[in-house]
Each structure stands twice: as structure tokens, then as C-alpha cells.
Amino acid sequence: MDLPSKYNPANIESKWYQYWLDHGFFKSEPDSCEPYTIVIPPPNVTGVLHMGHMLNNSIQDVLVRRARMLGKNACWVPGTDHASIATEAKVVAKLAEEGIKKSDLTREEFLEHAWEWTRKHGGIILEQLKKLGASCDWDRTAFTMDEARSKSVIKVFVDLYEKGLIYRGVRMVNWDPKALTALSDEEVIHKEVNGKLYYLRYPIEGENGFAVIATTRPETILGDTAMCINPNDPKNAHLKGKRVLVPLINRPIPVIEDEYVDVEFGTGCLKVTPAHDVNDYVLGEKYNLPSIDIFNDDGTLNEHGAMYAGMDRFYVREKIEADLQAAGLLEKVEPYTNKVGFSERTDVVIEPKLSMQWFLKMEDLAQPALNAVMNDDIKLYPAKFKNTYRHWMENVKDWCISRQLWWGHRIPAWFLPQGGYVVAVTKEEAYEKAKQIVNYPLDFDDLHQDEDCLDTWFSSWLWPISVFDGINYPDNPDIKYYYPTNDLVTAPEILFFWVARMIIAGYEYEGTMPFRNVYLTGIVRDKIGRKMSKSLGNSPDPLDLIDHFGADAVRLGMLFTSPAGNDLPFDESLCEQGRNFNNKIWNAFRLVKGWEVADTKQPESAAIAVKWFDSQLSNALLETDDLFSKFRLSEALMTVYKLFWDEFSSWYLEMIKPAYQQPIDKKTYEATLRFFDALLKALHPFMPFITEELWQALEERKEGESIMVSLIPEAKPVDELLIAQFDKTKEIIAGIRTIRLQYNVPNKNLLQLEIIGEHNPIFDSIILKLCNLEHIQTVNERYQNSISFLVGTTEYAVPMDNLLDAEEEIKKMEDEIVYLEGFIELVMKKLGNEKFVANAKPQIVEAERKKHADALSKIESLRESILRLKEKQTKL
């Protein structure tokens, strides 16, 4: 295979990806080999590739490719999530552009539009992952709303209901007024908001005085059904047993007493609005207070909002402040910072709301999942997330699993004409169940299915089981072979949304963990520390990066600085570094393959070089194994990177490189190709495309051969002493090269090396070759006219007779200083000319200033060299 002089990833990436597909290298079926399984965190069907996906999927592909090369039957299952809220919002927006309102459509008509949108956009992100080199088993691609996954979800709902773990009831929920649906607690993001604290006057019924209440939400006073004071608060004792009037509408409400009230907050009087505050709801239940819901689903006020009916909640907040002020019922307003809940999906302020919803009891279900992580049956990387996980699982609340949406899995509950409901997988089953419990005539069409759908996470929590169809067919060959999976790579922010719930589902339906290790990635940030996002405009398009740098370079850029759990400070210079490494590998390969080979005796220097690099390679392979076992992937990459760049290219190839236009001996050449083969295999999981291209060119290959299904070489015994000895040899070589550089001794000039002290001669042939030495000898006292340096306690000296004419060197440098000083004078004349500075282009003026600075720097360097030479003259 003839390789072009420059590496062009565009020419090879699509070629090799298609080759892998054509030969089925990504496919997996159960066999006798050890399985290695990863399930992809299914990206939203609405999504396109972003930098977070790039990081996450690069890591997964590294793990999967490495597992294949360790001889395991590797299976990476891809798929997408139907993303109820996000997808429904996209479809509603698309319909709005076409002049269609969701409310004008039937459920079936809307779902036709949703499926059409999904079919058009749903596969985009998976196709984009192929550009990255993702080696997923595409034949196994799953979708959380495809037939198998949908059946699994409905079956699990019915099962949990029949176990008494799912119930329906009116509870205080988090309501999203934009998405028009309830949210679970985990879908609410609490942010600090600079708002106001309003002190409102509630007239005391039958008296002239007021009770003052502090609130951040004056618009909700219209739903107040009580005022609460602490029975132990003397300053409010005069209110006991009385009633107060709700400001502006003068509706009387009782004053109740409960120690729940914080006497230090505000005035010690608390307004109780059971329909719109979680804590007030508890008080309402305790004291049997009525609940007055003042909000419509979209956040406007309803008929209970009196004169504000139909107005938006935040507009009412402003309006009611002015009205209270005008009525003399606003005592004061203070700035106040508090935490406010926002919808994780739509980023609008959520509204606590009493609503009939479906819930899953979590306390008992959560216990096995808590124990699994605390006992390290499932390991989190990094382990610092164990405490966060424990806190959430020990304080878990019942999961609100219903959503007021059409796009999703419709709840399999059917309501009966005279009240009540039945839960069943199908309407036919529901009808049979219903006939057993009603005592009146019932037609099939009398049953009406619940309009709500299930939370998206209620399908994705089954993902490691459902992708192998383990819910519908519990003992099928796939679930028995691939489950539990090995590693999960995901983001810490969905540790509870998804990871914890998958663990719960795993123990409930398979009796064991869904995965053994959870690798938690960090957030991709820009170079000044901001999270990358479209809204900030600081996130590059991953596909543009791949087009510009190549997939391998971008993968390396993502992995260079991505330790588990820590944020990734990304800059395009990392991709540039990745591209430079690609070029380094390419050029080294062309160098080696360009050598002429002869059946000659192996030089001593080459023999010891081969022996040394054999140990260096094995040492790196062992270190890489250890780092992978600890999920320190970034460090594993750097180990192989440095092995190739430093030890192989900078040292080994220089040690064995034949003289100009001379052949290399066959034995050394074959060893070098063996090393190249091992290096390409070690690098392949990180950079699959260039390694395949070069591995195919390393020797003649048959159709169907591939580096991705070859085995990573096993480490041999490591000669630690030999490696340590060569580390010392590197210092010796560096010392000699420094002398050449400092005293301008050309490389073609032969030098001698004298050694005073202990020295192991094992690498002398290397020193002779790389430093162009005439000979090396041990002496008791160094030659008077020599330059020396220390390595450890041993002194190494280079005789300088006939090699250093200090006077001539000083004269050359002094002449150059005179020239540069004249040059600076000319530049300063230009820069001192106001007309030139005013009229010349800014870049020209800047260029002149740079010339001036560079010349000054050069003069300083030359003067230092002259001083050093004069000092050496004195010593000699």
C-alpha cells in the first residue's frame, strides 16, 4: 500500500468505517467467549451531536474497542429516547409554524405528526456518531417507544400496580406551566433568584388592627385559607382564636396554631395556601383546611383569582403590589434572595399544584439499589459520588410517573362509567377485569383510557433489560448472556434521574445489578470555564471539528484532559495536538517503511535498543492495563502517547536508524515492525482510523482482516534495571548535546567522552552513535581543556582541543550585536515618525514593533553567550 506524504483523514475515515460495517465487526451474538456489554445512554430523539455526546461516546468506544482486542465478545447497544416533553414541544412548535394548534387535533392526529417528525429527525444523532467512529452494533438499535420497549413499559406498569407499588391520588406536584405537565422532584432545578419579600397587612376581623405576613408570592393570597402562628410566640398571642381578612377580597380565614411556624422569619405569621405550597398542603391536611386552586394550567389565574382572572401570574405579582399599596395594605417591601424551582426541560418557574397523578412507591424499591452502591457491588468512578448517591436514596420520595402529554407511553388504566378504574396491558384485558368488579351492564366502549402518558424515565429505567427484551422474554439467550452489562458511561447530573432508577429496576426484574461500573464524565467547558452551550455560542459544532481535524484528532482532544468526574476544559488546540500526533505516527511509519533492508549483522547499538524498547513497551502495556482497571482513561492515553512520541520516535528510531543511504539489518527491521504493530494496537481504541490504515499497510493483509479484531499484545517480563540504566544514558546524551549547542560544535565533528567515576557501559554503543563520539574512556582525572557535567555523582567531560575557538566565536557574536543595534536604530526612526505611525496600517506598525522587540531579545541572548564563553576561557 503506497502512503501519501501527508496524512489526510478525510481520505480514510469513511473507507475504513464502511469496511468495518461490511465485515460485521461491530455485530455481536451470544457465544462461548466472555461478554463485554455497554448500553448507550440513549440521546433524545430531538438531539444532534454536541460536545457532551462527543466526550461520552468517545469514552464508550475506547472501552468497547479495547474489550474486543482483549478477546471479549463486545456488544455496544445503541438507541434513542423518545423524550416526551422535548419532542412534544418540538412538534407543537412545528405545527404552530404551519398554523395548526395542538388543541385543534385529536390525540391520534397529533401522534401522526409526532411519529412523522421522529422518523425524519430521530436517526440524525446516531448517523453523526458513525462519523466519530462509534463501533455500535447498529442491528440492535433500540428506541424507547418501539414495539418491544413499549410492551416492556406497559407490562412493568401493570406488574408494579398489581404489587401495590403504583397508586393514583391527589398530591402536591411540580407543575410546568409551559409544558403543561407534572414533573418529578428530580426534574426541578433550584436556582437562587433575587426577588422581593412583601409585608402584607391582613385586617383582623371585628377590630381596627392588622396582622402582618411576609411572603415572596403576594399573588397567592387569593388562595389563602388560614393564617398560622406559633403557639409559643408571645408577640402574636393576641391573634389566637381570631380570624383575619384576606387583603383586597376581604374573605375571612381562621388563625390556626402550629409549632411548624418559625417565629424568627418575617413577623412570625404565616399565610397558609394549601393548593400552592408543599408545606402549606401538609398544614391543610393536618387542620382540615379547604384548598383553593387559583391557577389555570398555563400559569394564568382562574375564576378564584377574582379581579385578576385571566392574567399571567407574574403580571399579577406586579399588579397586586400596586393595588395593595393603593389600599394601604402593603407595609413594606424588602429585597430578598431565595431558591426557586425551575423546570429542567423548559426553564420556567414551576408551580406547586394539587393534581391527580400516578405515583410509584420508592422507599422499599430503593433499598437494594442503595446497598449495591454502598457495598461496592456497583462501583462509581469517581467514588466521591457515593455520598451524593446515598443522600438521595436515603431521602427518596415517591416518584410522580404521570405526565399530561400525548407523546409517550399512554398509561394502561381504563376508567369505568360509574367511577373507578382497572389497570391492564390491553383494553381487552381491562374489559375482562372490569366485568368481574362491576354489578351493572358494561359495554366494551364504555371503558375510557387515561389521557396521560408516563414519565420518559419510566421507559429508560428499564434500558439495560429492555434492549435485550428481558421484560417480555425473561430467559431469552441475549438477556442471559449480556446481562448484567459491564460499564455505564454517563453524566453525574442524571445519576438519580436514570442511573439509580436503572439499578432499582435491575434488582426488581433481574434480581441483580444492571452494570458493574459507572463512569461519570465531567462537563465540557470552554477555556475560561463556562459550560459549553448553544445559548452562549461557545460550543463548536463537533462535525465541523471532525471535518477540520479528523475524527481521531478530535477523539484525542476530548480524551487528553477528561479525568472521570472532573470537568473538561476544552480548547480547539487540543484537537490540534491530536492532529500533530496523527502526523507524528504517519511520518514515523513512512520513515520506517522507506528503509532499505539488508541481511547483515545486527549492530550492537541496535541490539541493545531493541532489548530496551521491548521492556519499555511491556512496562507501558502493564501501566495501561492498570489505568484502565481504575478507569483513568486520560492517563492511559497519555501513557501510550508518550511511549510513541518520546520513547519510540525520539529515542528508539534514532538509536536504530541506519546511516544516510545505508540499509538497516533485517533483524532490527523486523523487531521495529513488531513494535509498530504493538503500538498501533495499543493506540487503536483511542484513534481507530489511522491505526487501521497503517496496520493494513504494515504487511500484506487478507480481505476481512482488521486491527480492531486483532489482540492487544501481552506484556513480557520487564527489565526495570535496563530501563533505569537507559534513563541515566538519556541524561548523558543530553549533556553532550548541550555542550555542542552552547559552544557551536557542529554535529559532524567527532567528540571524545571521558568518564570520572562509576559508569555502566551497556549503552555506550548508543552514546557513541547518537553523540557522534570517537571513543569513550574512563579516566582518573579529566583533561584540562575540557567541558564537564554531572549525571548523579559521575562526571562526564568532553575535551575541547581544536573544537572551540573562543576568540573567533566571541568576535562573530560581537559583530552580530553591532548589526542588530544598527537595525534597531532604523526601526526606531520609523516608529518615532509620527506621520508613519498615523498613516501606516496598524498591522504594519505592529510588525515594526515586533522586529524591535525580537532584535532586543537576540542581543540579550548573544551577550549571555559571550559572557559564558569568557567564563569558560577563564576555567580552561
Reported as a single tens digit per residue, the pLDDT across 547-568 is 999 999 999 999 988 776 678 8
Q: Which residues have C-beta within 8 Å of that of residue 36, sequence separation ≥ 6?
A: 64, 67, 68, 70, 72, 73, 74, 75, 486
Q: Average pLDDT of 603-615?
A: 97
Mean pLDDT of the 715-720 span? 95
- Asked if pLDDT for residue 876 goes beyond 60, the answer is no
Omega before 477 within 30 of 0, i.e. cis: no
Percent of the chain with pLDDT over 70: 98
Question: Residue 279 pLDDT > 70, yes or no?
Answer: yes
The per-residue pLDDT for range 486-508, each reduced to its tens digit, is 999 999 989 998 999 999 999 99
Give me the pLDDT at residue 539, please.
80
Query: Mean pLDDT over all residues of the chain?
Result: 93
Q: Are 297 and 180 in contact (CB under 8 A)?
A: yes
- Res. 812: pLDDT tops 90: no
pLDDT for residue 614 is more than 60: yes
Q: Give CA–CA dist 90/626, Å, rounded.
A: 46
Which of residues 698 and 861 earns the better pLDDT score?
A: 698
Cα atoms in the Cβ-side hemisphere of radius 13 Å centred on 676? 28
For range 326-337, the mean pLDDT: 95
Over range 469-480, report the average pLDDT. Answer: 97
Residue 535 has pLDDT above 70, yes or no: no
Among 149-153, 324-328, 378-382, 848-852, the least confident range: 848-852
Percent of the chain with pLDDT over 90: 78
Determine contact, residues 301/309, Cβ cutoff 8 Å: yes
Q: Would you say 451 and 403 are in contact if contact means Cβ atoms under 8 Å apart?
A: no
pLDDT for position 170: 84
pLDDT at 315: 97
Span 779-807, pLDDT tens digits: 998 777 788 889 988 999 999 876 666 67
Beta carbons of 505 and 362 less than 8 angstroms apart: no
Look up residue 850 and give its three cell numbers: 515586533
User: Which H or E run includes 628?
Assistant: helix 604-629
- The pLDDT value given to residue 47: 78
pLDDT for 246 equals: 97
> Averaging pLDDT over each range in 49-63, 618-632, 801-815, which range is the top one?
618-632
User: Average pLDDT for residues 234-261, to the nearest whole number?
Assistant: 95
Mean pLDDT value across residues 42-48: 87
- Say yes or no to pLDDT of 454 above 60: yes
Do residues 366 and 201 lie in contact, with contact meaning Cβ atoms separated by under 8 Å? no
Which amino acid is residue 333, in one-letter code?
Answer: V
pLDDT band at 708 (very low <50, low <70, confident <90, very high): very high
Residue 661: band (very low, low, confident or very high) from pLDDT cuts 50, 70, 90: confident
pTM of this prediction? 0.84
Residue 549 exposure: Cα atoms within 13 Å on the Cβ side: 29
- Listed range (386-390, 416-420, 678-682, 807-811) with the worst mean pLDDT: 807-811
Q: Per-residue pLDDT averaged across 104-115, rounded?
A: 95
Q: Which three cell numbers, joined as nine digits, stand for 80? A: 434513542
Report residue 453 as a C-alpha cell: 402518558
Amino acid 875: pLDDT: 61
Q: Which residues contact 29 (CB under 8 A, 6 or more apart)?
A: none
In sequence order, the 6+-apart residues with CB closer than 8 A to the CB of 3 are: 586, 589, 590, 593, 694, 697
pLDDT, tens digit (0-9, with 9 covering 90-100), for 620-629: 999 999 999 9
Contact between 792 and 729 under an 8 Å Cβ cutoff? The reply is no
Please give the Cα distance from 581 to 555 (Å, whole number). Answer: 12
Predicted local confidence at residue 80, as pLDDT? 95
If you search the block for the grid coordinates 408571645, which residue do you land on?
234
Q: Find how far residue 118's CA is from the centre of its chain.
A: 25
Of the chain, the end-to-end C-alpha distance in Å amounts to 57
DSSP 29: -
pLDDT attached to residue 744: 83
User: Poorest-confidence range of 165-179, 421-435, 576-590, 723-737?
Assistant: 165-179
Report how far residue 6's alpha carbon sits from residue 582's, in angstroms, rounded to the nearest whole number.
10
Three-state DSSP state, 790: strand
